[in-house]
């Protein structure tokens, strides 16, 4: 696109983010130093509309950005907004004060983000990656009942009871534990479905297969206990959600932890992911944008944090805020936990 179309699109997006009102050519000509006549601006706006970058909600109204327009803006036009020193200091102090309790740390971080941005915040304190077996322990409870204990790479501990076809003594349980840890440590559920058991003694092979199937089941279970949202009612303050039925549907959706998990899992390591409007699959989210990022311990993704707001959110501010929080969390965990 020509430079002046880009400048007009940027001005429309910035003005709409600030006011929530459709933007007309007279507004652009008075508020922004475009050095273009109203007639030229109107012509360029018509071209932008034909390109699908802006739309006119009503015949007599100005223009608003389309999802395509927002996408072009965040991918190619948006600059980075520096956080104020005061806010940076608040973030740093809060993270330092809460470092001994990860859950409390992330919860307080989410509250601060929601307060700072006036948007909804979602977060997790466990890895969104596929769990990997760190250790397995077999414990006999009764002659033919054992407990299968699995510790994952994110140090989550889960267990499940298994009915065995043979009597399992303490000695056999220790042998099974040693064998299993040689075979399946470092594997995901998908890897375990393909693991080679040819070396297993035929006497114990059926039990080993049953244990491995149990481990697969444990690894496949979702743990939502450390996924939460804060500031979701902030959504109601934006005119886009004045329809109470739509607002109710959105709030109900944001109360569902499996859905929050799916939103947080979109963010690749060390990047900020932005989903805009129609890019969000479910209808209640079509007027929203979702921005997420991750934080790490060493090379392991420990969790994610994200912000949900109207499509006209302040993308530059939110991206800068999330990047700083992600960087500080990653540095802090790297220093204190490795």
CATH number where 294 lies: 3.30.450.40
pLDDT score recorded for residue 300: 66
Look at residues 46, 61, 77 and tell me which one is the last residue of a structural domain. 77
CA–CA distance, 230 with 118 (Å, rounded to integer): 10
Q: Between these two residues, 114 and 61, which has the higher pLDDT value?
A: 114
* 287 shares a domain with 157: no
Task: Please state the rounded mean pLDDT for residues 282-304.
Answer: 85
* 160 shares a domain with 216: yes
Q: Is the pLDDT of residue 99 over 70?
A: no
Contact in structure between 289 and 276 (CB atoms under 8 Å): yes
Q: Is the pLDDT of residue 266 over 90?
A: no
pLDDT score recorded for residue 281: 87
* 139 shares a domain with 101: no
pLDDT tens digits along 189-214: 988 988 888 888 888 899 999 999 99
Q: Is the pLDDT of residue 118 over 90?
A: yes
Residue 269 confidence class, pLDDT cut points 50, 70, 90: low
Q: How is residue 289 written in tokens?
A: 């944008």
For CA atoms 81, 47, 280, 309, the dihedral sign is positive
pLDDT score recorded for residue 97: 65
Task: Please state the rounded mean pLDDT for residues 323-332.
Answer: 81
Q: Between these two residues, 118 and 333, which has the higher pLDDT value?
A: 118
Q: How is residue 128 written in tokens?
A: 């969104």
* 333 shares a domain with 229: yes
The lowest-confidence range among 50-59, 77-86, 252-261 is 77-86
Q: How is residue 144 written in tokens?
A: 């033919």
* 146 shares a domain with 37: no
pLDDT score recorded for residue 219: 87
Counting the structural domains of the chain, the total is 3
pLDDT score recorded for residue 338: 39
**What phi and psi values does residue 335 have, to the nearest 5 degrees?**
-75, -40
* 246 shares a domain with 118: yes
Q: 3-19 vs 38-50: helix axis angle to the nearest 10?
A: 90
Residue 337 confidence class, pLDDT cut points 50, 70, 90: very low
* 314 shares a domain with 229: yes
CA–CA distance, 332 with 326 (Å, rounded to integer): 10
pLDDT score recorded for residue 74: 95
Tell me what the pLDDT averaged over the chain comes to.
Answer: 87
Task: Please state the rounded mean pLDDT for residues 274-291.
Answer: 94
Look at residues 61, 77, 93 and tell me which one is the last residue of a structural domain. 77
Q: Between these two residues, 302 and 2, which has the higher pLDDT value?
A: 2
pLDDT tens digits along 203-251: 889 999 999 999 999 888 776 667 889 999 998 899 989 998 999 999 9
* 261 shares a domain with 122: yes
Output the domain CATH number for residue 150: 3.30.390
Look at residues 197, 220, 243 and tell me which one is the last residue of a structural domain. 220
- The percent of residues above 90 in pLDDT, for the chain, comes to 53
pLDDT tens digits along 145-167: 999 999 988 777 889 999 999 99
* 34 shares a domain with 72: yes
pLDDT score recorded for residue 333: 67
Task: Please state the rounded mean pLDDT for residues 20-40.
Answer: 90
Specify the DSSP element, H or E, that contains 300.
strand 300-310
pLDDT score recorded for residue 270: 60
Output the domain CATH number for residue 32: 1.10.10.10
* 167 shares a domain with 108: no
Contact in structure between 29 and 23 (CB atoms under 8 Å): no
Structural domain harbouring 168:
133-220
CA–CA distance, 48 with 51 (Å, rounded to integer): 5
SS3 for 271? Answer: coil
* 326 shares a domain with 251: yes
* 104 shares a domain with 63: no
């Amino acid at each position: 696109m020509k430079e002046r179309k880009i400048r007009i699109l940027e001005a429309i997006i910035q003005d709409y983010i600030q006011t929530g009102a459709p933007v007309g050519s007279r507004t652009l000509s008075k508020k922004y130093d475009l050095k273009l006549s109203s007639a030229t601006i109107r012509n360029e706006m018509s071209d932008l509309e034909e390109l699908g970058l802006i739309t006119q909600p009503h015949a007599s109204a100005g223009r608003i950005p389309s999802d395509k327009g927002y996408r072009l803006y965040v991918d190619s036009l948006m600059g980075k907004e520096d956080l104020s020193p005061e806010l940076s200091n608040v973030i740093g102090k809060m993270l330092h004060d809460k470092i001994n309790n990860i859950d409390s740390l992330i919860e307080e971080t989410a509250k601060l983000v929601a307060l700072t941005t006036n948007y909804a915040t979602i977060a997790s304190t466990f890895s969104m990656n596929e769990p990997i077996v760190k250790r397995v322990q077999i414990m006999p409870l009764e002659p033919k009942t054992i407990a299968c204990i699995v510790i994952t790479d994110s140090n989550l501990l889960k267990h499940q009871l298994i009915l065995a076809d043979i009597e399992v003594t303490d000695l056999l349980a220790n042998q099974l534990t040693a064998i299993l840890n040689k075979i399946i440590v470092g594997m995901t559920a998908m890897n375990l479905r393909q693991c080679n058991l040819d070396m297993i003694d035929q006497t114990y092979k059926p039990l080993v297969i049953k244990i491995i199937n149990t481990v697969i089941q444990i690894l496949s279970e979702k743990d939502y206990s450390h996924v939460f949202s804060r500031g979701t009612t902030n959504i109601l303050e934006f005119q886009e959600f004045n329809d109470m039925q739509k607002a109710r549907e959105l709030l109900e959706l944001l109360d569902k932890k499996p859905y929050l998990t799916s939103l947080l899992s979109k963010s690749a390591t060390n990047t900020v992911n932005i989903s805009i409007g129609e890019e969000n699959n479910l209808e209640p989210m079509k007027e929203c944008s979702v921005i997420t990022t991750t934080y790490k311990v060493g090379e392991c993704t420990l969790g994610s944090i994200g912000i949900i707001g109207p499509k006209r959110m302040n993308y530059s501010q939110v991206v800068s805020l999330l990047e700083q929080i992600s960087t500080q969390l990653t540095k802090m965990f790297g220093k204190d936990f490795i």
